[in-house]
Amino acid sequence: MMRKKQIGALVLSLFLVASLGATAIAATQSTGASTQEEFDANPDEADEVYVSENGDAVLVYEETSDDPDAEAVSGTFGIETQTGLMHALYGADFTEMDENVSEELGMVGDASFRMSPESVTSSADLTFRDVDAYDEFSADVNLEQSRTTYAANANLAMVINESNYVEAEESVDISAQTRTTATTFESSGTMTVDSGTPAGEGDFTIDMTLTQSDDQYDLSVSETRALSDYEQDNWATEEDARAALDRQFQSVAMNFGGDYDLTLESYSYDDNGESATVDLEYSVTFTGINDQVADMIAMELQNDPELDLDETEARAIADRLAELHIEQLQFSAEQDGSTVVIDWNTEIHNYDQVVLGVIEIAESLDDVDDELADQFDEARQMIEAQKEADLVQTSEFELSMTQAPNETSMEFSSSADAENWGDYVDELEERDVEQFIAETSLSFEAETVDGDINIVYDYAAKDDALLERILDEYEQMAEQDPMIGEEVTAAIENFRAAEFETARATMSITEEEAEFETATAFGNMTELEGVPFETEDGLTVTAVHGETENATTTMYVTVEGFVGEDADEAEVREQRQVGEDTTVNLPGEWDREFPSINEDEVRSFLEEGEDDDSLLPISTTAAAAAGVAGVVVVGGLFVAYRRFY
């Protein structure tokens, strides 16, 4: 049984390595180093060696598995620096195995992946079997992004069988909407939380609205609060309540250096229930706060030794920060037993001035390097482009989640779009701001059917310089993160120099069989880290080929300069890869053809259906890392067969 799982895991992992390419660049460096160390530490002796007149050689390793199911797996793989190709094609016939491997895999279906320097595409139609944890699962995701449009929406619902550490049913429901422009931010929504058990502090309600007019802030509040025993004396009379509110808002005004005016519009005290309650309606007007806040900010900025700002510069930035304008800030909350309902409605203007003020503060730091300064300048230009294009972005989402002792359920939906998106992209280009806006489309659907989960997706991302842009992003991240180091940057440069051309992977799994095929092409593969493979004694591996059939895997390793020209058998046997049981075949003593990659067939596979495949449902940046997947395959094949060499 374990053997079946290993075979299934191998098939799936090969496809995922080839298609996702996750952490491929980092893996390039580490895999090459660790593999070389293991090879050099304990090289296995070849079964045969075939020596050419120029001293090159092919080392042949053969291993036969005693697992009866091994005969059901067959295929070939190869890596050649001369052609710049990597290729693997493996299949498994489940009917020749003792157990139902299809059930062990838990999945049937087809998937495909392709990448070129200008695009990443993938698609799949998969069924995951007997997913017992899900009573219900459905998902529907769509994304369209281009130079002129942006729109996205998603719907998700699931019911999961699981034990939760709750005694009563708990739930949360959220509905929210946002709207942003270059200068304004608006948000509204409702959240309802049911904890299952009443809170100990008693019920309450509060409804407050804050508005701003020039230098004046008006706060209007209506509330009902439950009073604890020690609070009752502070609110027992209208005079007590006014005094308590005075203390509260006097402190607020003093903190901001302004004045306040309080009006208690209504008051009611009730101590007939389980706990005393007080009903209040009041309004508060604050004045003189803006100037005081600006003065306080300017003083702090000017006194900060790291900023090195004079009084004029500090005041200019402080005035920017103080320009934030609260058109409306409305908030209400009500608790009734175990349920709390919260509503909000917010509209804020001039928030771009705050962003620009923060940028100016950051730019004034002495240790800001040129690259970071360029990013600040780019952020400023993006705000200007948003203003000029009148970019309006809206989004909304709804979430409902319930936890019961033996079940968790969730429903989620969201949508987002942008008005004047095309004008915004044009404005960015006019300012020479390079934004990664690839032509991207995604459709993803999933649902439970008779205990299975069916998933169908189709994704495509295209841009004239897709891969180059993403490599630039990785390079910038590597340069900005001291933990990554120069090795990753070097690996990225090596990948560029290797002249990546294309990569493709396909996978098909049925009840009876599975097939996996992947290929990658480079214009100059030898620029990749670890290709060709160099041993510690100076030997160079320029090609590796393998064939698996009838439970036997034969591996052919082509070594450049294995011995000198016209070497005799004694000189060959001096090599550490040649043991006393190794059959040595000298020039003129053998006439044998060795496996090689069929370049025409592999190129045809790479080109097949170029307009039909699409991309995995992950972010464009993450998916585009798949372009370096071939690098991982190099290291992975060496690791998988390290015992042969």
Provide the β-strand partners of residue 221. Answer: 208, 282
Contact assessment for residue 627 and residue 492, using Cβ atoms and an 8 Å cutoff: no
* Cα 506 from Cα 504, distance rounded (Å): 7
Q: How confident is residue 489, by pLDDT bands cut at 50, 70 and 90?
A: confident
Q: Which token pair is 107?
A: 């999945």
Of residues 531 and 184, more confidence is placed in 184
**Backbone torsion region of residue 339, taken as left when φ is above 0, otherwise alpha when ψ lies between -120 and 50, otherwise beta:** beta
pLDDT at 329 over 90: yes
How high is the pLDDT of residue 407?
A: 84
* Cα 243 from Cα 320, distance rounded (Å): 36
Q: How confident is residue 603, by pLDDT bands cut at 50, 70 and 90?
A: very high
Of residues 432 and 74, more confidence is placed in 74
The burial class, CB within 10 Å (0-12 / 13-18 / 19+), for 78 is buried
- Name the least confident of 226-230, 285-289, 315-319, 388-392: 315-319
How high is the pLDDT of residue 1?
A: 36
How high is the pLDDT of residue 483?
A: 73
Residue 389's identity, in one-letter code, is A
* Cα 503 from Cα 607, distance rounded (Å): 9
Across 95-99, 360-364, 609-613, the highest mean pLDDT is recorded for: 95-99
Percent of the chain with pLDDT over 90: 42
* Cα 320 from Cα 137, distance rounded (Å): 49
HEC profile of 430-483: HCCCCCCCCEEEEEEEEEEECCEEEEEEEEEEECCCHHHHHHHHHHHHHHHCCC
pLDDT at 10 over 70: no
- Name the least confident of 108-117, 460-469, 563-572: 460-469
* Cα 627 from Cα 122, distance rounded (Å): 13
* Cα 481 from Cα 502, distance rounded (Å): 29
Task: Please give the average per-residue pLDDT across 298-319, as a whole number.
Answer: 74
* Cα 160 from Cα 133, distance rounded (Å): 6
This prediction's pTM: 0.75
Helix (H), strand (E) at residue 79: strand 73-80
What digits encode the pLDDT tens for the residues 182-205? Answer: 999 999 999 999 987 776 566 789
How high is the pLDDT of residue 283?
A: 95
How high is the pLDDT of residue 368?
A: 54
Q: How confident is residue 619, by pLDDT bands cut at 50, 70 and 90?
A: very low
What digits encode the pLDDT tens for the residues 207-258? Answer: 999 999 877 899 999 999 888 888 888 898 999 999 999 998 998 888 877 8
Task: Look at residue 249 and give its three-state secondary structure.
Answer: helix
Q: Calculate the dihedral angle through the C-alpha atoms of 467, 472, 475, 476, rounding to the nearest 10 degrees.
A: -140
Task: Please give the average per-residue pLDDT across 360-383, as a whole number.
Answer: 71
